[in-house]
């Protein structure tokens, strides 16, 4: 039985290390967890003793197979709860993260499997992030940032890179959600801002916005 803190560290390494596949530095983990590097080193050593993390000084930390399995399970629970909160309890997508942070530590595997079935096995959460299945596998989706789309091309929003409340509220204000279609009307070389057509209305957006929206080209 792992503590909430241990699960959170495994999850942080999982996210930073491309689903646990590559090593990450203690400084990167410290920044992600908003804590001191010395605290990260102590926790990583603790997780290493439990064979959940492989750690080498100056080379960083990498999840073992068991560590990756646990981290994927926590991520799965988090994202399934986000789907449930949005689809069945009328939470908005900018409200669910903090609540899901608490619910992701529920240990009952039966509950989570039943939740998955109740939700009809969703593959992505309300922000467009993929949901690991019960075996920890993730269905990958081809996606690019809106900033990479060229003039006159059309695309559809399939995810957000920045899931902060401020950014999600900004998107709500402009009626941008998963499934929203865009057409790039123009791009400015000076500041890399662009004008897009959203819901038949032109909208000027900054580089910061276009760099935080994942899209796929329309067929």
pTM over 0.85: yes
Beta-bridged to residue 56, according to DSSP, are 60
Q: Is the pLDDT reported for residue 63 higher than 80?
A: yes
pLDDT in tens, 126-179: 999 999 999 999 888 889 999 999 999 999 999 999 999 999 999 999 999 999
- Both tokens of residue 43? 């926790």
Give the model's pLDDT for residue 22. Answer: 83
Average pLDDT rounded to a whole number, residues 2-28: 90
- CATH topology agreement for domains 4-63 and 144-217: no
For residue 70, give the nearest of 26, 34, 19, 25 by alpha carbon: 19
Q: Is the pLDDT reported for residue 20 higher than 80?
A: no
CATH of domain 144-217: 2.30.30.90
Give the model's pLDDT for residue 58. Answer: 75
Give the model's pLDDT for residue 110. Answer: 96
Average pLDDT rounded to a whole number, residues 197-204: 95
Q: Is 19 left (phi over 0), alpha (psi -120 to 50) or beta?
A: left
Beta-bridged to residue 182, according to DSSP, are 155, 198
Domain layout of the chain by residue ranges: 4-63, 144-217
Q: Is the pLDDT reported for residue 21 higher than 80?
A: no
Give the model's pLDDT for residue 71. Answer: 96
Band of residue 60 on the pLDDT scale cut at 50, 70, 90: confident
Share of the chain above pLDDT 90, in %: 88
- Report the chain's mean pLDDT, rounded to a whole number: 94
25 vs 132: CA distance, rounded Å: 24
Average pLDDT rounded to a whole number, residues 51-65: 89
Q: Is the pLDDT reported for residue 18 higher than 90?
A: no
Q: Which CATH topology does 4-63 take?
A: Arc Repressor Mutant, subunit A (1.10.10)
């Amino acid at each position: 039985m792992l503590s909430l803190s241990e699960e959170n560290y495994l999850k942080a390494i999982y996210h930073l290390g491309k689903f646990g596949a590559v090593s990450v530095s203690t400084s990167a983990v410290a920044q992600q967890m908003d804590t001191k590097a010395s605290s990260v080193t102590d926790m990583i050593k603790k997780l290493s003793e439990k064979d959940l993390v492989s750690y080498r000084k100056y080379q960083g930390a990498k999840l073992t197979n068991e560590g990756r399995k646990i981290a994927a399970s926590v991520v799965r629970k988090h994202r399934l709860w986000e789907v449930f909160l949005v689809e069945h309890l009328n939470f908005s997508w900018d409200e669910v993260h903090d609540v899901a942070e608490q619910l992701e530590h529920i240990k009952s595997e039966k509950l989570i499997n039943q939740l998955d079935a109740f939700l009809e096995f969703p593959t992505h959460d309300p922000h467009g992030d993929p949901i690991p299945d019960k075996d920890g596998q993730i269905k990958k989706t081809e996606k690019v940032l809106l900033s990479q789309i060229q003039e006159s091309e059309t695309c559809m929003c399939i995810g957000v890179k920045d899931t902060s409340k401020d950014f999600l509220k900004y998107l709500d204000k402009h009626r941008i959600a998963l499934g929203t279609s865009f057409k790039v009307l123009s791009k400015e070389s000076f500041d890399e801002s662009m004008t897009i057509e959203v819901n038949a209305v032109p909208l000027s957006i900054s580089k910061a916005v276009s760099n935080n929206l994942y899209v796929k080209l329309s067929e």
